[in-house]
Structure 1
């Protein structure tokens, strides 16, 4: 009799744990006709409602993003014909920011979908990182690259990893003062995989908010205006890309001491 009662209780406990981990596909057996059976059916209805609500929210975001692309393109063309004045640069910056946001929304959704495959190719990571650093040449406080991995290959999607490097380096420069030490980029490799550290010496991130910066549109400093900005979708997209490669991304920081982003990618089968 006790087992008859405890079994559905254990099912419910497993279901709550699965739901808490984000598994909205988990369902409980609905065989019983008593109160525990009613509870299982109510749990399943709740899970289905949550799934539908989240799917609808994601679809709305995608639909809005798709609809924004055409008017943004027209705005860019129109701006080319506006005579140079004090407003043109500001308008162009606004359009570029919106266009980048739309691109990041659509790319994040693509990578999370069943069609979101990445194109893994053996790639010289040293060259890839050097090219990313060159994109920010001349911007204070500068970037230095330290390679202790030697010549190495990583099995990566070049375009996606370029996006990750560009986002993190851009943030590091944005939150660093010109008089700070240069941003340090360190590449290393061991049996656990390929490690890439990107360290800045800027304002840092509050400890209680470090996990939240990978959430879409999260702003560490709520008081920042649009010019200073937040992390937008950039770091959320970075996390999605790195995880699609089977890797991880994390951050360490202290206020006033800057931040270190650590990317860990799986080892490929060989080195070059």
Structure 2
């Protein structure tokens, strides 16, 4: 069996698995939300309320993972030929992606405990330094996936109460660059060369757990390949990372 045939079979398998998971997840999430909406009318025990909230939360996380799997499959099977490209303004797209990433982070964030110091600044803040009219020629859907994933990663691998993410864009004449900088844990040297491999996961440094499929950065790399672009990373352990993507000027 050729490598191309293997890719095709794997892609079909991923699609089938994803669609098979979506139906039961939609039922789990729908019913748990419906029951939770009755909490004011029904007298649930503390245990029941907690259980329902956790079922709904984990169902939502699983739905996000399935959506990621479908997006990865769509990107990995895309071809240069026939891929629609257009001029896309970067700044509004980055703002949209940042807003979505922050919202998802807030939904998953742990509640503040009463004994914690309320004077400590908390939250996720994305600072954008990008010329208003700077644009790239790209497939808009894929570009959005690319930026969204870089921002989500910058937020996820940061255990600070206040998370600062800096996005900087520049026109270099023959290419347009977009850098995402975080001040989180950084990446271990042994992981840097492997983070673009499908299903490779870096341990979550502050919980010891692994989150996600290990598909986000390989998806970003594939999107850049489809646009004849590139991605690079500079990381200092304990100081954070800078991911830079480059698109050629067409």
TM-score (norm 2): 0.74
- Is 1:206 aligned to 2:194, yes or no? no
| Cα distance in 2 for residues equivalent to 1:88 and 1:249 | 42
1:82 alignment counterpart: 35
Task: Return the offset for 1:180.
Answer: 5.7
Say whether the 8 Å CA contact 1:180–1:201 is kept in structure 2. no
Q: Secondary structure at the match of 1:86?
A: helix
Answering whether residue 97 of structure 2 is matched by residue 144 of structure 1, we say no
Largest Rg, 1 or 2: 1
The 1:114/1:175 distance shift into structure 2, 3 A limit, reads closer
What displacement does 1:150 show?
Answer: 5.7
* Aligned mates of 1:222, 1:201 — CA distance in 2: 15
1:193 paired with 2:175, answer: yes
| Superposition deviation, residue 218 in structure 1 | 2.3
1:107 counterpart (53, 63, 71): 71
Partner in structure 2 of residue 96 of structure 1 = 60
| Aligned mate of 2:91, from 109, 123, 126 | 126
* Secondary structure in structure 2 of the residue aligned to 1:213: coil
Distance 2:96 2:244 in 1: 19
Choose the corresponding residue for 1:69, options 11, 22, 44.
22
TM-score, normalization by structure 1: 0.69
Counterpart CA distance in 2 for 1:225 and 1:49 is: 41
More strand by share: 2
Contact 2:204 2:211 in 1 (8 A): no
Q: Describe the shift of the 1:261–1:89 C-alpha distance in structure 2 as closer, same or farther (beyond 3 A).
A: farther
Contact kept, 8 Å, 1:141 with 1:176, in 2: the verdict is no
Where in structure 2 are the equivalents of 1:139-178 lying within 5 Å? 140-147=123-130, 149=131, 151-178=133-160
CA distance in 2, matches of 1:128, 1:50: 36
- Is the contact made by 1:141 and 1:178 (CA closer than 8 Å) also made in structure 2? no
Partner of 1:183: 165
Q: Quick one: structure 1 residues 91 and 215, their matched pair in 2 at CA, closer, same or farther if it must change by over 3 Å?
A: farther
- Corresponding position: 1:238 with 2:220: yes
The number of residue pairs the alignment matches comes to: 220
* Aligned-pair CA distance for 1:184: 1.1
